[in-house]
């Protein structure tokens, strides 16, 4: 049966929190989840929500979810921050994570967010391999940055602007677009395109 992807509702909170605890066990931090059910529900479905989510359902059972909130970049504006995307163990490897990610990308595009960012533990190879499908660049720390989707640029490689990396930017005008090529001191090259006037 094909999974159903839909927006999360208040009634999903208990199951979502079960999955959060499942993730905490997988990430070797089972005692770190201290949020109460009341707080979790109010934060997502109260009068002033601070997060939004999609769930994946199979036979009326929530088997995965993706939860995000809005972070603000003084350089770029509003961006989606992906806090969690997870699928319960029995349903992994069936494309459900990709369907949730597609829902997030569509949401980011519709709301005109300037990007999507997330982090992943560097030992979590299944998650890293999943994110690699979205043409991202990883930085090698214990917690590593995943990447960005921009409605203007499509998928592109990215990294944090880190003071440890010197960078040189080159700008070219090509077919009414600005091409920005960034060369970092460690050899990594990133290219972006901007429409003139954006």
CA angle 82, 108, 121 (to 5 degrees): 20
Of 107, 47, 48, the C-alpha closest to 81 is 107
How much is the pLDDT for 160?
A: 30
Measured CA to CA, the distance from residue 135 to residue 33 in angstroms comes to 31
**pTM for the whole thing?**
0.71
* Closest C-alpha among 116, 189, 121, 197 to residue 155: 116
Q: What pLDDT does residue 163 have?
A: 32
106 or 187, greater pLDDT: 106
For 170, the token pair is: 């080159």
Confidence bin at 12 (pLDDT 50/70/90): very high
- Asked whether residue 66 carries a pLDDT value surpassing 90, the answer given is yes
Q: Of residues 26 and 133, which shows the higher confidence score?
A: 26
Tell me what pLDDT residue 180 has: 55
Q: Report the distance separating Cα 144 and Cα 123, nearest Å.
A: 10
- Asked if 104 and 66 count as a contact pair (C-beta separation under 8 A), the reply is yes
Q: What amino acid positions are annotated as catalytic residues?
A: 131
DSSP-assigned letter for residue 17: H
Confidence bin at 15 (pLDDT 50/70/90): very high
User: Which pLDDT band, with edges at 50, 70 and 90, does 172 fall under?
Assistant: low
């Amino acid at each position: 049966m094909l999974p159903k992807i839909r927006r999360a509702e208040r009634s999903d909170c208990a199951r979502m929190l079960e999955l959060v605890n499942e993730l905490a066990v997988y990430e070797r931090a089972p005692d770190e989840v201290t949020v109460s059910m009341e707080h979790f529900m109010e934060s997502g479905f109260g009068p002033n929500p601070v997060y939004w989510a999609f769930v994946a359902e199979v036979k009326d059972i929530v088997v995965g979810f993706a939860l995000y909130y809005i972070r603000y970049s003084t350089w770029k504006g509003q961006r989606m921050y992906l806090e969690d995307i997870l699928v319960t163990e029995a349903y992994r490897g069936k494309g459900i994570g990709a369907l949730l990610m597609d829902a997030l990308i569509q949401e980011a595009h519709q709301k005109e967010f300037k990007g999507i960012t997330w982090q992943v533990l560097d030992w979590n190879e299944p998650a890293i391999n999943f994110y690699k499908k979205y043409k991202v660049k990883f930085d090698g720390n214990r917690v590593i940055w995943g990447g960005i989707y921009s409605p203007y640029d499509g998928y592109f490689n990215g990294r944090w602007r880190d003071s440890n990396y010197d960078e040189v930017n080159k700008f070219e005008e090509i077919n009414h677009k600005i091409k920005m090529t960034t060369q970092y001191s460690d050899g990594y090259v990133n290219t972006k395109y901007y429409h003139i006037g954006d």
